[in-house]
Structure 1
């Protein structure tokens, strides 16, 4: 780890960290109190080097939140399925509940190289709501089939569904842009997977060529493809939102968030910096997939009308 820091790393991911402790008569998953001893040992090594750690754990949301309570960075792996449920159902109550519970010191995701997590959102969504979202994904999603997450495609991971996030939303630009607006306004720092950044569709050709289920979301872009993709309106708007967010103080981790649900299908998210001088507001309707973003009373993006103002 010290060599990583010497080469410029100031945040080190600990992959599948919950299995780091092996102990007889346990399932070797998140074994306490030993897991805390190890985390603290690693932190003691890195703190003088001004680096932090990011434990990666796919499990019930309460496990990462326990880590957060010890002032470590965590991943928000519950947001992807919660957001899908919100956009499939048009109901904003579950998303609002989760945003109110989420810590600031985290990295948010919607998609990863492995797939869309399911187990992470349990009890934020009921079992029935998770089943609904999972089935709706196969119904609404573009070229998504259950067999891609099966032994036929060398994938027995029952905790994740293989699809790009864009295709999970039916390659729908409006729904996709709103999903990213939710992520941008969620507590934490948005982490955007490269295929997601380019609003990539499922790569069925690579999937069938390799018979590897996870390759559906691992398209190999050429430089020419990237040049073309960034000109698509949905990608250009996403890049605009991210660039604006990166420079706006309302999203600092020491700031605040307020979440309201004016109706069953709408949500209003307000982010403020610590001093309350900079205010960003997202007002969205999950049913018709429209939204408006304002910053200090200036309209930044208005997806409730045909045209979108430039940042």
Structure 2
């Protein structure tokens, strides 16, 4: 079970949690498992936050099939089970796929693998077991076909999903697959595709890109606007299957998202407690 031993792992986590609780610290265990195993639910029941390793693949699936189907299912799961998650797009390890088993079909997962590999990604097998895929190594930008509109829409969806957003630097900078780094690293160097080393002047230049500045605008909004949070209300609004409509509300503040999975456009509007529009993003 990918290094999870029952009850040993839970006993160890419980001991660490008891120490952390004394200092008001929150633990965030990193446990990869299939959706169908429901270990993410067990983590929530035991009082832990958990990584949302489902969201990265679900967004790509939504864009490729032009449907909100599984994003809505996952939002409902999070809310109904009372899960507290930290979500992401890409990360230092790649795009998790093993986790999606039981949420997406095997055929749908294979299509995601084929799409990302066709766009320059590498498949990581699970501990040497062939045809048991753990993750695909790629930058999220390249996995989306290096499309600025898709990256901005993915970021918009991420910040409106339940949970606390986490941002990988290369996603923010719209970084492309670094095949040269993989080649330089040699055998088993596939993860270097998404770990490009940047000098300060390089990073500063990347910040000038429009897709980067727009992401920063979204992240500043998410970080400071009062409508979001674990104690706020999230509502899924009625829409057709190609559109995801979400609305957050807290203390009179509202933030609304309309995300189109077919043309990759989005519209975000936020109002203060007086109903005045204070943020708009298109």
Normalising by the residue count of structure 1, what TM-score does the alignment of the two structures yield? Answer: 0.81
Query: Does the alignment pair 1:109 with 2:109?
Result: no
Give the Å deviation of 1:301: 3.9
Query: Does the alignment pair 1:65 with 2:41?
Result: yes
Aligned residue among 212, 217, 229 for 2:206: 229
Give the Å deviation of 1:177: 0.7
Q: Is the 8 A contact 2:116 2:138 kept in 1?
A: no
Give the Å deviation of 1:299: 6.8
1:24-35 map, 5 Å: 29-32=4-7, 34-35=8-9
Give the Å deviation of 1:185: 0.5
Aligned partner of 2:243 in structure 1 is 266
Alpha-carbon distance in 2 for matches of 1:116, 1:87: 15
Which sections of structure 2, spanning at least 5 residues, go unmatched? none
Runs (4+) of structure 1 exceeding 4 A deviation are 154-157
Normalising by the residue count of structure 2, what TM-score does the alignment of the two structures yield? Answer: 0.88
Aligned partner of 2:51 in structure 1 is 75
1:184-223 map, 5 Å: 184-211=159-186, 212-223=189-200
Change in 2 beyond 3 A, CA 1:261/1:138:
farther
Alpha-carbon distance in 2 for matches of 1:301, 1:171: 25
1:1-311 map, 5 Å: 19=3, 29-32=4-7, 34-61=8-35, 62-102=38-78, 103=82, 105-139=84-118, 141=119, 143-146=120-123, 149=124, 158-211=133-186, 212-260=189-237, 262-273=239-250, 275=251, 277-296=252-271, 298=277, 300-303=279-282
Q: Say which is worse superposed, 259-268 or 231-240, in terms of deviation.
A: 259-268
Change in 2 beyond 3 A, CA 1:150/1:66:
closer
The number of residue pairs the alignment matches comes to 269
Give the Å deviation of 1:40: 2.2
Which sections of structure 1, spanning at least 5 residues, go unmatched? 1-15, 20-28, 304-311
Q: Is the 8 A contact 2:160 2:246 kept in 1?
A: yes
Alpha-carbon distance in 2 for matches of 1:258, 1:281: 9
Alpha-carbon distance in 1 for matches of 2:103, 2:122: 25
Q: Say which is worse superposed, 237-246 or 61-70, in terms of deviation.
A: 61-70
Give the Å deviation of 1:288: 0.5
Alpha-carbon distance in 1 for matches of 2:140, 2:237: 25
Give the Å deviation of 1:30: 3.5
Give the Å deviation of 1:127: 1.7
Give the Å deviation of 1:261: 5.0
Q: Say which is worse superposed, 82-91 or 126-135, in terms of deviation.
A: 126-135
Q: Is the 8 A contact 1:164 1:216 kept in 2?
A: yes
Per-residue deviation, residues 100-149 of structure 1 (Å, max 9, x unmatched): 2124521101111111000112222122221222222233x2x3355xx4
